[in-house]
Amino acid sequence: MAKREYKNLSKDEKLKEIKETFIARAEQEAYSKYISALENDDTKTINYFESFGDDLRKIISNYRCFNQNLLFGFETKTYNESGWMERPVFFEKEEILIYVHKNGWKEKNFIEVAKGKNGKWTNGIWAQSNTGGNVDGISVWGEIHDTKELAIVGACHRIIKFHEDKSWNGSDKVIYLALEFIETILGRRPVQLSLF
């Protein structure tokens, strides 16, 4: 027997499926709103949620992604061929190198910043030491800042935090350079200009 479409399930069948689903902490708010709509027969809210996908996992994931997209002014719902929401394209993306150890072959540390459609900025980092790293790129799940400068400062602080407990001899250099870059961005340190 073919499985029925999720949207055609009864209210009780939908609630049963939710009860049998592992709900991550980050998803609890979305599930609570959806469950409340189902329990109260709120057709408008149910239809809104179910416009995000054809199964429970996609509905909740795409709903959450769309709400994050809105924080950066991305209001279009675009889905890939599998039914998952597409990542929006940020503007004015810039990569800023903090430090490269041994001519770039390893231990590269840089930050990225980019602007959303509504003018809000976010950042990503690539922080590495000799024993591991922390990498996250530009996305709607990143930090939200009002200006490019604050996004840069936020990313520098994240790289500093990563390196604070590392014993790698390059970590002190990365922290120093990131702090120096923060001072320059905030206008508290004059920039050294070279004629050659």
Nearest C-alpha neighbor of 65 from the set 7, 139, 118: 139
3-state secondary structure the chain: CCCCCHHHCCHHHHHHHHHCCCCCHHHHHHHHHHHHHHHCCCHHHHHHHHCCCCCHHHHHHHHHHHHHHHHCCCCCCCECCCCCECCCCCEEEEEEEEEEECCCCEEEEEEEEEECCCCCEEEEEEEECCCCEEEECCCCCCCCECCHHHHHHHHHHHHHHHHHCCCCHHHHHHHHHHHHHHHHHCCCCCCCCCCC
Q: Give the C-alpha separation, 137 to 116, whole Å.
A: 14
The predicted model scores a pTM of 0.83
Q: Any residues with CB less than 8 A from the CB of 53 and at least 6 apart, and which? A: 59, 61, 62, 83
Query: Rounded mean pLDDT of 150-155?
Result: 96
Predicted local confidence at residue 103, as pLDDT = 62
pLDDT band at 2 (very low <50, low <70, confident <90, very high): low
Residues 104-147: tens digit of each pLDDT: 556 688 999 999 999 999 999 998 887 778 889 999 999 999 99
Q: What is the pLDDT of residue 170?
A: 82
Confidence at residue 192, expressed as pLDDT on a 0 to 100 scale: 59
Query: What local confidence, expressed as pLDDT, does residue 133 receive?
Result: 84
Predicted confidence at residue 157, as pLDDT, reads: 95
Residue 196 has pLDDT above 50, yes or no: no
pLDDT (tens digit per residue) in 22-81: 999 999 999 999 999 999 999 999 999 999 999 999 999 999 999 999 999 999 999 999
169 or 189: which carries more pLDDT confidence? 169
